Structure 1
């Protein structure tokens, strides 16, 4: 039935349907109220049907059966006399409602009815459950800020694809996007930059246009609540100890002021790896503890991402303060100094019932005891962490960095990285052979994630272009059960289902990349990228 992601099992009764009309009711027991509300708000709005509840409101019945199904599992049964949707928990029920919406056709994804009759569901039984518990998407709102309305829209798009984690990259050298009441200059100073690099640095282009924005704490509470209604967890990222120039520009005492003039720094206007990193003084530890106190109050997620990537050590090597810390803590070198820094926050988070997750560089110098790893530089870091008993989210740049170009040639906007086609993403396998042969270690791969870095995407239209349709392929990788071997994944079947799914994306207003290449307004002639020729190296 052209479902994306593909369900575990599916059986249909040929030429049998259940019609929906103004008399079709929607009801369910305790715990189903949120899904009822969502169905009325979306399917009800698209069909123009009231989907009323109450006595005699037969038609679509919702139920929870935690004794029968796992929390994210669901069972959908449609007969000629009605619909029964059962979830193992509220999440499973919600994912089943997403399937129900897909079965109604692309018009069910619009916000107002194009027709008020002729709606029907095919008679069938679907039994389904996800492969991974973490099915994530990173949205980088630091390099280019996305207004709150765009983030809320992306939560709807994630939900439509049964993705359940939004990793929100809130801070970097180029912008600080979360209000911290104790430190207002983080957004007053670090929340904007006076210009931006256009394309890759080799061209030397700047737009000379100020760029900025940030989310108030209430904005973020709203985003978190909106996500929770859609069974999505928002994981905040506060990047330390590298990627921190926006914070240092706001509070120069955070930088390595004993070796550089940190008071002269402003929010960075370039892309790339930056030498200006945090110092390792007690005051900096207390500063970020205070920041995280406010972050934890906003975000209830178990995991908090603290970056830990791309932290050059040159300033620490030259800093008497950093060298004194190395000696005081009896550390071997600057790699161990970074590990010490992150271990401090691992313990600090653990004492508050949270867990640190960071990019795979946090393995260097020793991994903090409770930390989980986002494996981005290929599989190796994730394999090492999983074999050592640490939880892992697989997001290797060779496969699921969606800022990478989608085709060869000059038409792709600001072409970056390797060519990663829709089929390439569909063939991504989160568990490499080294883990498929080691079930105990494989159990530590809690999920997978696609990353949308926005250095070369300066508005939501460009994010749409890079994300879709590849995010639909990724969603199936993250959700659907694996065949006996990854090579057996049915690309032809998925490609056929995508022909229908593109109509759903059209109805949702997603400006995805067309099969035959970008539209004229999706190109960026004259904007230099950084294409990498040939196939990516083995992850």
Structure 2
């Protein structure tokens, strides 16, 4: 018996060590979508034993993340698939499993809901846990996703009409874009309200001095620092003689900018306007460092269209470090955005230190293999078993957050923190559960229950959109509101310490699943004790009324996702959601995101604005930047709300979003009948539209490079629409004229982006990793014709089947050579997009 036990221990040790030394590999591939004619997919894991020892028949579990729900049960002889919570799944041997011989492989077929048509849909972060070492997970050193290439893999289902955006599709879309000489393009971006070019030029540099009225000292210092980067010499602050003057005056515009023989003059009524004048001046300067620059004489009068021009970044799903936040704020400031909505808590992470509640970041701010979740919450989005990973784990200290606030304030950007509730709150819930366990162990019941967010006797069964079973705060617990008060008070204190007082706070409200609180004793008791509550659904309104009181008592405006302003009711016997009349007159601001074209609620934005809510246009169809640019297996991002390229934020019409809606959520042409019977925006409702927000959710975003790829250049389309006045093509009623006007405006915008703004972004601030589009290409009359989305970028090609490089020939005319033609788009610094292959 002792010898057998020793052999088992040695066997386990050898295999655990083999895993550590890359002895076991795993791959995954999609077999087909629409499996068995249903909305599900079939895929295969292949586990290969590369060691010289047999892989054991028991004693292990493989964990992995997958955004598609996997049907539990036997998936291979002796292998059972299981679901832990959220997107965490398992593969585990049963007594029937025989192990894996040396050099052999095991294929495991799994069935999952919906479809997989993009590499970012694939499973991620697999790791193995040995039974004799249950607290430790080992990531697979080699995990490979095999690309999909067949129609049955790329189509969603049998009804899908198109699997991929082709080079010919791109060529056709690009074909209407004119190439406009750089000297004929608008000089300032986003487009100012009024721009007048005048006779004459002014030479700026190499000696630059700046004078500013006392109210604009900070702005003058900012400009001096930026000019030093351009001209390579420190710009001097001189209040007597200066070639750049910034003065304060009571004018109706946000700023005026004039350049004449006397120099450069920026006039503004306040510091914010002066700052925007500075950004317009920067728009006139070259992207690369220079000794001097000749500026055209101009007169500019400008003001933003919307007062609320926002970018929302999710740092919960995957964490983004403070240095990258600064880079985001810099590019926001360059394009005159003034609100940074920071989504700091969700199911997968709590990212802000709250004094007095260290568990929020000690547990909720870290992800790793701890199924009891007393040291970290479970892995998500491939973050793996290691608590020290830098995508799943991370948070901003109080000092970090204050520094972010101050950095934003210097750029006239308001930071709005978001604490997601009552759903999407699992990181907070599990943190407070761990706090409860710690204090109960210490015998301190009062402290254990002080901030608890869950009812231990709650037997309610539900599953959120992301498959969580326990991610909703219990709204009947007094401790829930004490927790919210504590968090709000600490955030208010941090903003005060930063000199950036908080006046609005985002309190979530997104995607609370059906079934919550139904079997919670405290929730049901609350309904019995409160005459205004008739059923479980009414707890939602009870909760947000309490939240509003907490927020308003502190002098803050309440801000939330659209669901926070909705109410369930019955229509023709069916449950429907309507604008909640109880909150419409309480200065309640909403982000309205659900405008999936063809989804049925395209008019929700206007219904809520017409009902009195302050509305920020945040629709997924145009402004969710985590959506993939195009329908392409290799294009990163989600696509449940459609595909979002740079044109979609540009062609969005805020007060008539139906007019330029061109395709549905699947990328198919949108029938005009889609909008029949939909509510239109009233004049009253129009006054309630406060602005536009672009959002970048981070499920698929793990690195700064990935963040900047999805952010840019899409953000430029949003910046133009949020700042510039209503364009002529949006107001033109005759369709043919409107189309012609739009095409002309798009050509101008595309040239500005390609010839001015991308070179600026490539050279400035260390260079931004914006997306470079793929080339459009067709074969006509025996020749390959190619074009590019953004004129100014160049196409290089090869005719020998090799990959194009930065030294390959530049495409200037149709290619007559026969064979395999490969094309790739390059920018001004030699970065490139993906290769397009055409057979001629």
TM-score tier by shorter-chain length is: 0.7 to 0.9
1:244-289 Cα deviation digits (max 9, x unpaired): 1111111123123212599xxxxx9x95666521112111111111
Distance 2:208 2:383 in 1: 57
- Deviation at residue 54 of structure 1 after TM alignment: 2.7
Which residue of the partner structure matches residue 357 of structure 1? 559
- SS across alignment from 1:213: coil
Q: Aligned residue for 2:364?
A: 190
**1:276 and 2:483 aligned:** no
Corresponding residue SS for 1:449? strand
Alignment partners' CA distance in 2, 1:206 and 1:78: 53
SS in structure 2 at match of 1:50: coil
Report the Cα offset of residue 75 of structure 1: 0.6
- Quick one: distance in 1 between partners of 2:467 and 2:198? 55
Q: Say whether the 8 Å CA contact 2:527–2:536 is kept in structure 1.
A: yes
What is the rounded CA distance, in whole Å, between the counterparts of 2:608 and 2:643 in structure 1? 28
Q: Any conservation in 1 of the 2:510–2:562 contact (CA below 8 Å)?
A: yes
Change (3 A) 1:156 1:435: farther
Cα deviation, 1:393-448, whole Å, max 9, x if unaligned, reads 11011111000010122120245332212112211122236897522221111111
Change (3 A) 1:523 1:316: farther
Query: Take 2:632 and 2:710, find their aligned partners in 1: how far apart are those partners?
Result: 16
Pairs aligned (count)? 502
Q: Which residue of 1 aligns with 2:648?
A: 424
Query: Of 410, 418, 435, which residue of structure 1 is paired with 2:633?
Result: 410
1:175 aligns with 2:433: no
User: Is residue 287 of structure 2 the alignment partner of residue 32 of structure 1?
Assistant: no
Task: Give me the whole-angstrom Cα distance separating, in 1, the residues matched to 2:680 and 2:227.
Answer: 40
The corresponding residue for 1:288 is 484
In the alignment, the residues of structure 2 paired with residue 119 and residue 250 of structure 1 have an alpha-carbon distance, to the nearest angstrom, of 56
- 2:258 and 2:747 map into 1 onto residues whose CA distance is 27
TM-score by length of 1: 0.87
Tell me how far apart the structure 2 counterparts of residues 370 and 325 of structure 1 sit (CA, whole Å): 28
Distance 1:152 1:130, change over 3 A: same
Q: 1:523 to 1:249 in 2, by over 3 A?
A: farther
Aligned match of 1:396 in 583, 600, 619? 619
Write the deviation string for residues 151-197 of structure 1: whole angstroms up to 9, x where unpaired: 11111110011000000000001000010111110110110111644
Q: Could you tell me how far 1:49 is from its partner in structure 2?
A: 3.4
Structure 1 SS opposite 2:221 = helix
Please state how far the C-alpha of 1:345 moved relative to its aligned partner: 1.4
Q: Point out the structure with max Rg over C-alpha.
A: 2
Change in 2 beyond 3 A, CA 1:437/1:319: closer
Tell me the residue number matched to 1:496: 751
Q: Deviations over 1:335-363 (max 9, x none)?
A: 32112111111112111110111001012
Q: Distance in 1 between matches of 2:519 and 2:825?
A: 50
C-alpha RMSD of the superposition: 2.6
The Cα of 1:56 is off from its aligned counterpart by 4.2
* Aligned-partner Cα distance in 2 for 1:95–1:206: 40
1:513 to 740, 754, 771: 771
Between the aligned partners of 2:704 and 2:194, the Cα distance in structure 1 is: 35
**Structure 1 residues 257 and 55 mapped into 2: Cα distance closer, same or farther (>3 Å)?**
closer
Is residue 374 of structure 1 aligned with residue 374 of structure 2?
no
5 Å-filtered alignment, 1:239-278, equals 239-252=420-433, 253-259=452-458, 271=466, 275-278=470-473
3-state DSSP of counterpart to 1:315: coil
**C-alpha deviation, 1:37, in angstroms:** 0.6
1:536 is matched with none
CA pair 328-223 structure 1, distance change in 2 beyond 3 A:
same
Q: 2: distance between equivalents of 1:41 and 1:506? A: 19
Contact 2:459 2:520 (C-alpha < 8 Å) held by counterparts: no
1:316 match: secondary structure: coil
Matches within 5 A, 1:154-165: 154-165=328-339
The answer for unaligned runs of 5 or more in structure 2 is 1-185, 369-377, 434-451, 496-500, 568-579, 596-601, 658-677, 731-737, 776-823, 835-840
Q: Does 1:481 align with 2:725?
A: yes
- State whether residues 655 and 681 of structure 2, in contact with CA within 8 Å, keep that contact through their aligned partners in structure 1: no
Match of 1:468 among 699, 709, 712: 712
Cα separation, partners in 2 of 1:383 and 1:275, compared to 1, 3 Å: farther
**Are 2:505 and 1:304 equivalent residues in the alignment?**
yes
Aligned twin of 2:438? none
Q: Does the aligned pair in 1 maintain the 2:258–2:266 contact within 8 Å?
A: yes
Change (3 A) 1:127 1:370: closer
Indicate if the aligned counterparts of 1:363 and 1:381 stay in contact, CA closer than 8 A. Answer: no
Query: Cα–Cα, structure 1 residues 102 and 523, in superposed 2: closer, same or farther, change >3 Å?
Result: closer
What CA distance in whole angstroms lies between the structure 1 residues aligned with 2:629 and 2:710? 8
> How much has 1:43 moved relative to structure 2?
1.6
Distance in 1, Cα, partners of 2:609 & 2:638: 33
TM-superposed CA distance for 1:206, in Å, is 6.8
Give distance in 2, aligned partners of 1:151 and 1:523: 25
Q: Write the distance in 1 (CA, Å) between the matches of 2:564 and 2:469.
A: 17
Give the match's secondary structure for 1:76.
strand
- Distance of 2:383 and 2:487 partners within structure 1: 32
Question: What are the residue-to-residue correspondences of 1:93-132 with 2, within 5 Å?
Answer: 93-107=274-288, 114-115=289-290, 117-132=291-306
Q: Report SS of the residue matched to 1:158.
A: helix
Q: Distance in 2 between matches of 1:34 and 1:272?
A: 48
Q: Which moved more, 1:329-338 or 1:180-189?
A: 329-338
Separation of aligned partners in 1, 2:362 and 2:534: 38
Would the aligned equivalents of 1:168 and 1:235 in 2 still touch at CA under 8 Å? yes
Q: Any conservation in 2 of the 1:407–1:421 contact (CA below 8 Å)?
A: yes
Q: Write the distance in 2 (CA, Å) between the matches of 1:437 and 1:371.
A: 18
Provide the secondary structure at the position in 2 that maps to 1:318.
Answer: coil
Q: CA deviation at 1:21?
A: 2.0
Q: Does 1:88 align with 2:343?
A: no
Q: Is the 8 A contact 2:616 2:689 kept in 1?
A: yes
1:3 matched to 2:184: no
Say if 1:273 and 1:445 are closer, same or farther in 2 by CA, change over 3 A.
Answer: farther
